[in-house]
Structure 1
């Protein structure tokens, strides 16, 4: 278990905190492994009735740690095990119990796409959402190329993906990406109170309700696999290398 993921259990709620505040909670492969383990353990723990993701500090997450991902992509796998990010995506896709995203700040890249797999998404007023994949020479992941258009419509999803623009919390609420928005000062307590409401509900009825609303898990898995192959190829591409160099040098990327 990496120190950058903190897992706590209380009052039938499992809280998974992304705790890498000095790096804006950018997610590494080790963090994905820890989160996959936490979600899988939650799924088999009869005493745990709700799981809530939250970020430490001012960010939910700034997305994937691109240096860590580039090293993994270019180094290849050491064995036949699934990469940690794929294990995590399967864990949230297959989880039969309630998942809650408590978005306390900017949710960038996977910060946004993770919320599409959560049953409830609560946002602080200062929270923002963005999916700047094309700006990085990458493509959407976590089956978001299917889930986002289904959630907000093709035109709105194209605007989010193809421009990489930032959505404010109340716009995300109007779009249907967010369940509720709370004032920053009240956010932590409000999110916890609502998680407790979920945790106190009849567990079997809750599982059935989730299953009835999420009937396309096989299709989601297929889309994830297709996205994952293209994403991995793009991590090795000149487009990605130029995008990362431009970001480091604070200039516009040039794609001939």
Structure 2
């Protein structure tokens, strides 16, 4: 377990909170493992009736910690990041997210697996995979176009440019936009409402909504992972990551 992720249990709600504000809550392998373990434990704990995921003050997550990511690239389906993605995508209990500030890369794609997403009016979202010489992950190539439509998803996944909370709500993966000072308390209250409802009703309802697409989702996630692993070792990604660390704009013109 790492203190960069805080895990708390209270009144039937498991809260998973990013706690690495000095690094903009960039996610390391150890953080993925802590989150995966917490989600798996919650699955078998009858006292946990809802799950809340939140960031810290003014920042949700900058996505993968690129330095840690390059030192410990995902090593197959048992790597911490894929354990986390399997756990959140198959969670039987309702998952609520509270988003304030930037949500980058997997900071956005993990929200596509949540049941309720509440965003501050200061939140921003981006999917810069193509900018890094990579491809979508977390089944976002499937889920984003499902909720937003093909053209809206293509604009976000091909260009990778940031967009605000109001647009995320229009696209369909944010339920409500609130003032930054109110969003966390509102999400906590929504999770508390869920925890007070019959757990079996919530579990069956969520299962019925997700059952038809679950196999397709897992297949898409696996296919993305195969491409992602290859692209991570390709020259385009090396140029993108080198440029990031050198604080310059990458140059992809020499790559076909």
Shorter chain as denominator, the TM-score bin is over 0.9
Q: Residue 103 of structure 1 corresponds to which residue in structure 2?
A: 99
Q: Residue 250 of structure 1 corresponds to which residue in structure 2?
A: 247
Q: Residue 191 of structure 2 corresponds to which residue in structure 1?
A: 195
Cα distance, 1:125–1:28 mapped onto 2, change above 3 Å: same
Q: Residue 65 of structure 1 corresponds to which residue in structure 2?
A: 65
Runs in 1 of length 4+ with deviation above 3 angstroms? Answer: none
2:133–2:236 Cα contact (<8 Å) kept: yes
Cα distance in 2 for residues equivalent to 1:118 and 1:112: 11
2:7–2:16 Cα contact (<8 Å) kept: yes
Deviation at 1:158, TM superposition (A): 0.1
Deviation at 1:249, TM superposition (A): 2.8
Deviations 1:88-110 (A, max 9, x none): 11101111110111112211100
SS at match of 2:173: coil
Q: Residue 47 of structure 2 corresponds to which residue in structure 1?
A: 47
Q: Residue 12 of structure 1 corresponds to which residue in structure 2?
A: 12
Deviation at 1:217, TM superposition (A): 1.1
Cα distance in 1 for residues equivalent to 2:2 and 2:230: 27
Question: CA RMSD for the aligned pairs?
Answer: 1.3
Cα distance in 1 for residues equivalent to 2:28 and 2:247: 23
Q: Residue 141 of structure 1 corresponds to which residue in structure 2?
A: 137
Query: Which residue of 180, 205, 221 corresponds with 2:201?
Result: 205
Cα distance in 2 for residues equivalent to 1:81 and 1:128: 30
Cα distance in 1 for residues equivalent to 2:29 and 2:226: 17
SS at match of 2:182: helix
**Does 1:233 find its partner at 2:230?**
yes
Deviation at 1:81, TM superposition (A): 7.5
Q: Residue 218 of structure 1 corresponds to which residue in structure 2?
A: 215
Give structure 1 stretches of 5+ with no counterpart. Answer: none
Give the alignment's TM-score, normalised by structure 1.
Answer: 0.95
Give the alignment's TM-score, normalised by structure 2.
Answer: 0.95
Deviations 1:224-248 (A, max 9, x none): 1111111111111111111112223
Cα distance in 1 for residues equivalent to 2:181 and 2:90: 34
2:77–2:83 Cα contact (<8 Å) kept: no
Cα distance in 2 for residues equivalent to 1:236 and 1:70: 10
Give structure 2 stretches of 5+ with no counterpart. Answer: none
2:117–2:176 Cα contact (<8 Å) kept: yes
